Amino acid sequence: MKIGITGTRSQLTGHQIKSIIDYLQSVFIIGSELHHGDCVGADAHVASLAKEIGYKIVCHPPVSNDLRANFESDETRNPLSYFARNRNIVDETDFLIVAPYQSAWQPYGGTWYTHDYAVKKNKQLRIFFPDSDNVIQLMNQGR
C-alpha cells in the first residue's frame, strides 16, 4: 500500500497523532510506503511515525528550502513547486492522509488544495481533524 500525507506546517495535536498512528499500524503490510512533502509539521512528523512502524519513506521535496524538514527518507524525488509535488504525492499513492490545522474544509492552502485534488482523482482519503477524535473517511466521494 502507498499512502500520502498532506497536512499542517504546525504541530499535530494529540488527537491527530494517536489517530494517525492507529491508522498506519492497522493498514501496514511489508512493502508499504509513506509519501511526504518534506515540510516541517505534519509531513515530517508522520514520516517519522511511519518509519518507526516499518514503512518505506518516499520524499517529494519542494523547490523552496524555506520550510523543508530535510527528513531522511529511503527515496527522494526531484524537487518541484509546492502544488506540483502535492499532485505527485496524490498521483503516486493509493490513499491520502489529510491532517489539517483547521477544523473544517477551507477554500485555500496547500493541505486543502491537495485534499481537493485527491477527491477530483477519486482517491481514498481520511481527514484527521485537530480538535476531535472523529475521523472523516472519504472513499471516492466529494466533501
User: Which has the higher per-residue pLDDT, 132 or 123?
Assistant: 123
Domain span holding position 33: 2-139
The mean predicted confidence, pLDDT, of the chain is 92
pLDDT at 120 over 80: yes
- Residue 133 pLDDT > 80: no
Is residue 139's pLDDT more than 80?
no
What secondary structure, in 3-state letters, does 97-138 show? Answer: EEECCCCCCCCCCHHHHHHHHHHHCCCEEEEECCCCCCEEEE
pLDDT tens, 13-70?
A: 999 999 999 999 999 999 999 999 999 999 999 999 999 999 999 999 999 999 999 9
Supply the pTM of this predicted model: 0.92
CATH number for the domain including 76?
3.40.50.450
- Please count the CA atoms within 13 angstroms of the CA of 49 that sit on its side-chain side: 21
At 64 the pLDDT is 92
> pLDDT value at position 113?
96
Phi-psi region of 116 (alpha: psi -120 to 50; beta: other; left: phi over 0): alpha
For residues 1-6, average pLDDT? 98
Measured CA to CA, the distance from residue 93 to residue 48 in angstroms comes to 18
Q: Which pLDDT score is estimated for 103?
A: 85
Number of domains in the chain: 1
